């Protein structure tokens, strides 16, 4: 091969490589998350792990994973979920020639469209056991419950198709597909149906190359989780509901407790009770964080934690006392610290 032909070949290959970006990666995860490729042996997820076609991602109990693709597509996985990347091709020069085909095998996910879905609606496909979902520039929630598939459109629109027919669902609508042979129908779902997905922090769906493997965003602080709670619009949800959902989704229980007390300080005792019930093994850390955040309610916090985990009473009392001493809090004269008030019910989370 002469030098001229070799130069042309190098140019073509170089152009092809730069135009076709092919990659998803683990943006963020917590708990028991495994990854396997083409039926191979499952291995533990790692920070910014590259993901290729035919990759299966599984989240265990109290676990979560957030997957991001180079075009900006985001997929949030709740606990006890199995998700597959079937095919992903991203043409950076001609986005309309790209495609993304993913599958929810069980569990639940939130999918936020990137450039591929925005530029070419036909290029995105989400397969589920009961139906195939196409999008119209979308932020959606999908979740299996036994044989039933539930869905909700946050923004945009989707078309759900199976052997029984197809149905269009727009922003604000919920869907139900009872089986692969049942037509998709509009429905009204219980308000807390997707709470475990909505409490997981989703990154912006902006395009970008994957980060260096081994790096990952820092977990959200208590202040950031409190802001997330403030932005969640679930009619009827209480701070206790949010606490449980965040802990079951793999967030640190002490951080979550602090966040919810920042968000709803008058509900400190009910927040602590919910947190300890969700994570009794870390009752002392939860109480420590709660008393540090709200020392004036230390007695109510202590009582709520003991009610949730009576077998850990001595350790809970010690943790509450230690946190109270560290805080330097002095009870108002004549009131003591042995009664406390607190709130045992929690307050609803106001819709946006």
At residue 330, the pLDDT reads: 79
What does the pLDDT read at residue 329? Answer: 82
DSSP 328: T
Q: Model's pTM, two decimal places? A: 0.87
pLDDT at 21: 60
Pairing of strands 81-91, 99-106: antiparallel
Query: What pLDDT, on a 0 to 100 scale, did the predictor assign at position 282?
Result: 97
pLDDT recorded at residue 171: 96
- CA atoms of 189 and 348, how far apart (whole Å): 18
What pLDDT score does 236 carry? 84
pLDDT at 350: 45
What is the C-alpha to C-alpha distance for residues 75 and 276, in angstroms, rounded to an integer? 29
Q: What pLDDT does 145 receive?
A: 92
Tell me the C-alpha to C-alpha distance, in Å, between residue 348 and each of 15, 236, 238, 266.
Answer: 55, 5, 4, 12
So what's the pLDDT on residue 256?
98
Q: At what angle do helices 222-231 and 239-248 cross, to 10 degrees?
A: 120
pLDDT tens digits for range 149-170: 999 999 999 999 999 999 999 9
Determine whether domain 19-197 maps to CATH 2.10.109.10: no
Residue 20: the pLDDT is 59
* Spans of the chain, pLDDT less than 70: 1-22, 333-352
């Amino acid at each position: 091969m002469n030098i001229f032909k070799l130069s042309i070949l190098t140019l073509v290959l170089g152009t092809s490589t730069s135009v076709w970006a092919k990659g998803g990666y683990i943006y963020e995860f917590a708990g028991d998350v495994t990854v396997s490729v083409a039926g191979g042996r499952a291995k533990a997820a790692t920070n910014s792990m590259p993901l290729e076609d035919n990759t299966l991602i599984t989240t265990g109990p109290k676990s979560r994973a957030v997957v991001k693709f180079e075009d900006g597509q985001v997929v949030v996985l709740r606990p006890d979920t199995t998700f597959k990347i079937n095919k992903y091709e991203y043409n950076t020069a001609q986005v309309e020639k790209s495609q993304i085909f993913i599958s929810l095998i069980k569990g639940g996910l939130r999918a936020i469209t990137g450039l591929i879905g925005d530029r070419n609606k036909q290029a995105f496909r989400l397969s589920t056991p009961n139906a195939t979902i196409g999008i119209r520039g979308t932020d959606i929630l999908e979740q299996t419950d036994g044989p039933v598939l539930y869905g909700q459109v946050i923004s945009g629109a989707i078309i759900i198709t199976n052997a029984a027919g197809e149905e269009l669902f727009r922003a604000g609508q919920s869907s139900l597909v009872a089986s692969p042979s049942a037509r998709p129908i509009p429905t009204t779902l219980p308000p807390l149906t997707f709470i475990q997905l909505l409490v997981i922090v989703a990154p912006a769906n902006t395009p970008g190359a994957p980060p260096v493997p081994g790096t990952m965003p820092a977990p959200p602080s208590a202040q950031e989780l409190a802001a997330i709670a403030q932005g969640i619009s679930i009619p009827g949800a209480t701070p206790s509901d949010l606490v449980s959902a965040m802990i079951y989704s793999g967030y640190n229980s002490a951080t979550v407790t602090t966040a919810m007390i920042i968000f709803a300080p008058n509900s400190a005792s009910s927040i602590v009770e919910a947190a300890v019930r969700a994570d009794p093994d870390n009752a002392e850390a939860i109480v420590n964080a709660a008393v540090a955040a709200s020392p004036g309610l230390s007695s109510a916090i202590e009582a709520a934690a003991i009610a949730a985990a009576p077998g850990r009473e001595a350790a809970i009392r010690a943790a509450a006392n230690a946190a109270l001493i560290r805080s330097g809090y002095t009870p108002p004269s004549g009131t003591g610290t042995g009664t406390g008030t607190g709130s045992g019910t929690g307050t609803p989370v106001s819709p946006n």
